[in-house]
Structure 1
Amino acid sequence: MTLIRSKRVYGIDVIRSIAISLVVISHCTYLLYADHNTFILSFIRTLGAVGVDLFFVLSGYLIGGLLIKNIEEGKTSFSDLVTFWKRRWLRTLPNYFLVLALNIVLLLILGDALPKNLWLYIPFLQNFINPHPNFFTEAWSLSIEEYAYLILPFLLYLSFFMFKKQHKQLFLKLTLVLIVALFAFKISYYFNANVTSYKEWSSGFRKVVLYRIDAIYFGFLLVYFIKKYETFFMQKKKLFSAIALFVFGATHLLIYYFGLYPQTHLWFYVFLYIPLVLLSCAMLFPYFINLKQNRILENVFYFISTRSYAIYLVNYSLILLSIQRYYKED
């Protein structure tokens, strides 16, 4: 146990703990204040959405780092890719399918109808191009992560096979090309969507794989540049943190001051808002990954961090919604 913990990065545990805390607190507001929508509640719920974006950047940073390590160690064959996928799936899929099964059992016990096309949850296709169904709602972000780890790594290893002498450059080039290519789908959404509310934009854009998969690739770019220019980022970590807070704060002040809503300023929410949030999250990483360890809080952050995935899977659909339903029926 001591050896395992010695290999952990304290700042990463802090980031993961902050992210899951933002998500859970946000979800709790829907239980405690389901029929209210004050400024404070809206802000807390916005931070909950940001918590998921922070998870996306963190996941991309960690998985992108593993891919770079494989490249540096010469592990660039398709068998190495399969090994990479197996390790990833063994860490995520068992818990996912267990919680999926529990959600199904809960629905049957309550006498509710199962959603149509339930089988889509098995290959994570339930929100690939359409809004996520109103069942096991946490799964929307897991679909985005799973396809992010399928698509780019496959193209990367295919490129290794085709261009054997360009391994170090291909990671960056392919990530950038894929981000640009995925932008075309956002353009299509912008010109074809008829959005009437934030909730509609959130379900039809923010939580759809095809439009959000690039969020993980922000983390890929982040780890690439931090590894390549580590000294620069470490020297400027406080400056980057200040810029991150400014960009995040200014973005949301603009939304509040000018009354920017998806139904009136869809271009802002499709092309600018999420990238600015992701950029703000990414610029905090140089500070956190070298954060000085606090012995008093270390165990707290370790406990939350190592259980964050399980907490994310069960906190809303299984726990909070069940509590909410119990009190409504009571």
Structure 2
Amino acid sequence: MIVDFNRRNFGLDLMRATAISFVLVVHLLLNFIPRDFWILWYVAYLGVDVFFVLSGFLIGTLLLQAIDKTNGQFGFSAFRRFLLRRWMRTVPLYYVLLAVNFTAGYFFLNSVATFDFSFVVWSQNLLTTPPHFFGESWSLCVEEWFYILYPFGLFLVLKIFQRKGRMVPLLYTVLFIAAGIITRSLLVREKFSELNIVFLRMDAIAYGVLFAVLDRYFLSILFKRRSSAFGLAGLVLFMAGVIFFLKATTKAYLLYYPLSGLGLGCQLIYLKQCFVEPATAAVTRSVRFLSKISYSVYLNNLVVIFLIKKYCSFPVIWQIITAAATIVVVSTFTFRFIEKYFIALRERLVSSARPVNDQEGTPHSENFSVSGLGRSGTKR
């Protein structure tokens, strides 16, 4: 299958481009203009939360398409193909940037960059907070473990219950989210220090899967009639989560996670269905370009910032501009020559149960176009 990067959903591209912009701007400001603005860290985490929900939605759509319509099963071969597709999408660039970060840290930044096998198997923050080295990779670890655990659980549940239809994937996803909420409420003690441990954050991706299930099986009629109310409800839920996070002095701040997940999921559905491309072609191209290179930007940005900060002595504003421009150039290169190469290779090597048109996902998500699936899987 030839990868088509032109057939895209602008609402999802806008959401993705906004998220990577949050992360990049925060990293630039905190590294070149160091201040004790802890609220900026929250904005960066918000960008990652958007990526998680987007990733879950796109991955969930793929998994639902892989369920056999005749017997309602998600076969082991489909599970294997899913993992191979995901790993060929995310792993090559990750390993390249892992090597780049280690080389830069060891030879050019005078920082601690000793080799740790945990980075190879995505376990550097499996049960503990991640080290400072290659710190942005923490969210990729959450994604990779989700790719393994959620589909394997779905495979087992469908095997056990032997039922077709929409309720099994829905209930399984709800229980997966509930398990995450309970685990976090029992183990988290501080707002920021434990929020990037893998088993405390996997439910963030499951909210996206939940909305993929809802979008495929439940929302076609409701959404046509209540689209604006749906978008407004998403905004209210998200803002309520933010208020809990910023104001709560007890563990009530943990309500941010389910409220934010549900709110961002509602906004995703709204933008996917209703957001019209701007009349200005330059804006459309810019948003789509930033969306395409978002994974590369996410993994490239910190090492470029550290090198510019150490070796460029000109004024801060020019350091910021130079770093931003360099990140875009480097990310365009890695997208074109690493990401796209392995995406094309994947399409030649990994057979799919059903043909899927590719679109850039989140920084770590499947590349495919979501064009509005209704209950029957047809375009609305």
Partner of 2:65 in structure 1? 69
Superposed displacement of residue 36, structure 1: 4.2
SS in 2 for 1:210: helix
- Tell me the secondary structure at the aligned position of residue 4 of structure 1: coil
What is the rounded CA distance, in whole Å, between the counterparts of 1:135 and 1:21 in structure 2? 22
- AA aligned to 1:322 is L
CA–CA distance in structure 2, aligned partners of residues 3 and 89 of structure 1:
17
1:221 to 2:210 alignment = yes
Q: Which amino acid aligns with 2:299?
A: L
Which AA in structure 2 matches 1:14? Answer: L
Find 2:309's aligned residue among 299, 319, 324.
324
Identity across matched positions, percent = 28
**1:155-207 Cα deviation digits (max 9, x unpaired):** 111233333334643211221222222333223214xx3x4xxxxx3232x11
Q: Which residue of 1 aligns with 2:341?
A: none
- 1:86 equivalent to 2:81? Answer no
SS of residue in 2 equivalent to 1:29:
helix
**Could you say if the C-alpha distance between residues 249 and 79 of structure 1 is closer, same or farther in structure 2, counting changes exceeding 3 Å?**
closer
Q: 1:141 to 1:234 in 2, by over 3 A?
A: farther
1:60 equivalent in alignment to 2:93: no
CA distance in structure 1 between the partners assigned to 2:82 and 2:3 by the alignment: 22
1:267 and 2:251 equivalent? Answer: yes
Query: Which 10-residue stretch deviates more, 117-126 or 95-104?
Result: 117-126
1:286 aligns with 2:276: no
Equivalent residue number for residue 236 of structure 2: 246
3-state SS in 2 of match to 1:207: coil
Match among 283, 291, 311 for residue 305 of structure 1: 291
Aligned to 1:198: none
Correspondence for 1:46 among 38, 42, 46: 42
Letter in 2 for 1:274: Y
Is the alpha carbon distance of 1:319 and 1:178 closer, same or farther for their aligned partners in structure 2, counting shifts above 3 Å? same
Is 2:10–2:272's contact at 8 Å kept on the other side of the alignment? yes
Give the counterpart letter for 1:324 in structure 2: K
Q: Quote the residue 1:231 is aligned against.
A: 221
CA shift, 1:56, in A, is 0.3
For structure 1, the residue ranges without an aligned partner over 5 or more in a row are 196-200
**What TM-score do you get using the length of structure 1 for normalisation?**
0.84
1:87-113 CA distances to partner (integer Å, 9 max, x unpaired)?
Answer: 111110000010001011111213433
Do residues 12 (structure 1) and 2 (structure 2) align?
no
Q: Number of residue pairs matched?
A: 307
Which letter maps to 1:133? P
Q: Post-superposition shift, 1:65? A: 0.5
Distance 1:253 1:113, change over 3 A: closer
| One-letter code aligned to 1:309 | Y
Task: Extract unaligned runs of 5+ from structure 2.
Answer: 316-380
CA contact (8 A) 2:238 2:260 kept: yes
* 1:266 Cα deviation from its structure 2 partner: 4.1
RMSD over equivalenced CA pairs, Å: 2.5
Match of 2:116 among 115, 118, 128: 118
The answer on whether the counterparts of 2:16 and 2:294 sit within 8 Å (CA) in structure 1 is yes
- In the alignment, the residues of structure 2 paired with residue 239 and residue 128 of structure 1 have an alpha-carbon distance, to the nearest angstrom, of 38
* Cα separation, 2, equivalents of 1:6 and 1:307: 14
Tell me if structure 2 keeps the 8 A contact 1:60–1:218. Answer: yes
The residue type paired with residue 224 of structure 1 is: V
Query: 1 CA distance for matches of 2:156 and 2:139?
Result: 26
What's the secondary structure of 2:276's corresponding residue?
A: coil
Deviation of 1:146 (Å): 0.8
Is the partner of 1:203 in helix, strand or coil? coil
Report Cα offsets for 1:7-60 as digits up to 9, x if no partner.
Answer: 3222111111111111111111112321342xxxx5544322111100000000
What amino acid is the match of 1:107?
A: G
Distance 1:80 1:273, change over 3 A: same
Separation (CA, whole Å) in 2 of partners of 1:3 and 1:215: 28
Alignment TM-score, normalising by the size of structure 2:
0.74
